Structure 1
Amino acid sequence: MSINDYDWQKIDTFDEKVEWQKSLAREVYSICIPFTVHFGEKHEKETDELDLTTYNYQDDIVQISYKYKLYDDGRELSSTEINLVPLHTRVFSVIYVWGQNRYIIDCFRVGSWLNHMESLRLRLEPIKKAEEEKRKQEEARRFGRLE
């Protein structure tokens, strides 16, 4: 799906109770993770309580941070935050609670930066297609018909 599939320019104030607006936030979140993993810098930290992996990406427009936390008790949390570089302003912040399939939207300030996020999503398309093709080939190698 694309950010352009949503009429986000009509949003004055984000309302989590409006399902399509919430879906837009999830779409932005879903772009951040693979993008920062592929193009960002990875940092890992282990403590007695949790394993924390952080990916950071920055260009002239946005700074994206994706954090994945795995706690000793099995809980998993991931969060992403987007800041506008020129304005030093946070425009997006979401926490995802694994196992509960729950998104906690802390900040979502709609603006033209969403166009930039769509361009980042388009940069991911060929990577996702190549990964899918590789997965299909591996699956065919393991489960395909042998004549």
Structure 2
Amino acid sequence: MPSRKQRRRREKLKRHEYEYVIETEEGEEIPVDRPPEREAKSQGRERKIPEGAVLDRRGRVLPKPSFQRVMKRTMILFPLIVLFILVAYKNVSTIQKALIAVELLVIFVPFSYFVDRMMYRAMQKRQNRPRR
């Protein structure tokens, strides 16, 4: 016997069901057959997964860690870091602000690469682990 919650959910699904109709000039609604279902996406473009590629949980290829990707990320975040330094350090000279920004940059780049490498290796281990 379905629970009250299950019955409500089933009623809700039925309540939102709709039909395909064509409205004539007089305002009459004429039911039309449903349009054909779209073909499954698997019949579309096939994705080519390279041999030995590491996949994330969504099934996407996880790229190997690279300094090029880290530098792109750095170029996105560096203006935010500079803006933070300009706002946070008001009583410091401009040269000191620049040095602080460079220090943070020197810390961020290798740390970001290390995190990318660590995540890549963890996903690689998870993928090579036998399924239960």
Q: Which has the higher contact order (CA 8 A, sep 6+)?
A: 2
Q: State the TM bucket, normalised to the shorter chain.
A: under 0.3
Structure possessing the higher radius of gyration over alpha carbons: 2
What TM-score comes out, normalization by structure 1 length? 0.26
What TM-score comes out, normalization by structure 2 length? 0.28
- Which structure has greater helix proportion? 2
